[in-house]
Amino acid sequence: MHMEQIKFDDAGLIPAIAFDVESRKVMMLAYMNAEALQVTIETGIVTYWSRSRQKLWVKGESSGHTQQLQWLRLDCDGDALLVGVRQNVAACHVGYFSCFYREYRDGEWLVTDERVFDPEAKYGG
């Protein structure tokens, strides 16, 4: 892989936008470091860098809601990734298919999507 074309930030991270190839929805925004990117390419299961836990994070490791890598795209500046995925069940930990389930309308944020799973049943309360 040509890592020299990728502009990681000062923390060694690059934003990675997950895009579901079937629904054509933006699923989530997370970050990858060089190791997460390499693991993603090698395994075909999308892996991120958890900024809060300071460790690699395989999407769906606790829920089973994995993302299968379909393709990777690097933006024109080399500082953002678009990750084409096949999303298993949902990307959002609060139960929605996409993390972008709210839309700003008439001065407020409205929930525009339906939950696809119960987060309390999946993760506990």
Write down the pLDDT at residue 124.
77
pLDDT digits (tens, 9 = 90+) for 19-59: 999 999 999 999 999 999 999 999 999 999 999 999 999 99
- Please state which CATH class domain 3-120 belongs to: alpha beta
* 24-37 residues labelled b (16+ CB within 10 A) or e (exposed): ebebbebbbbeebb
Classify burial at 92, counting beta carbons within 10 Å of its beta carbon; exposed 0-12, middle 13-18, buried 19 or more.
Answer: buried
Q: Is the pLDDT of residue 115 over 90?
A: yes
pTM of the predicted structure, to 2 decimals: 0.92
Write down the pLDDT at residue 3.
83
**DSSP label at 7?**
-
pLDDT digits (tens, 9 = 90+) for 5-26: 999 999 999 999 999 999 999 9
Q: Which two tokens stand for residue 16?
A: 């990675």
At residue 37, the 3 state secondary structure works out as: helix
Write down the pLDDT at residue 14.
98
What is the distance between the alpha carbons of residues 71 and 96, in angstroms, rounded to a whole number?
23
Helices (H) and strands (E) in the chain, counts: 2, 8
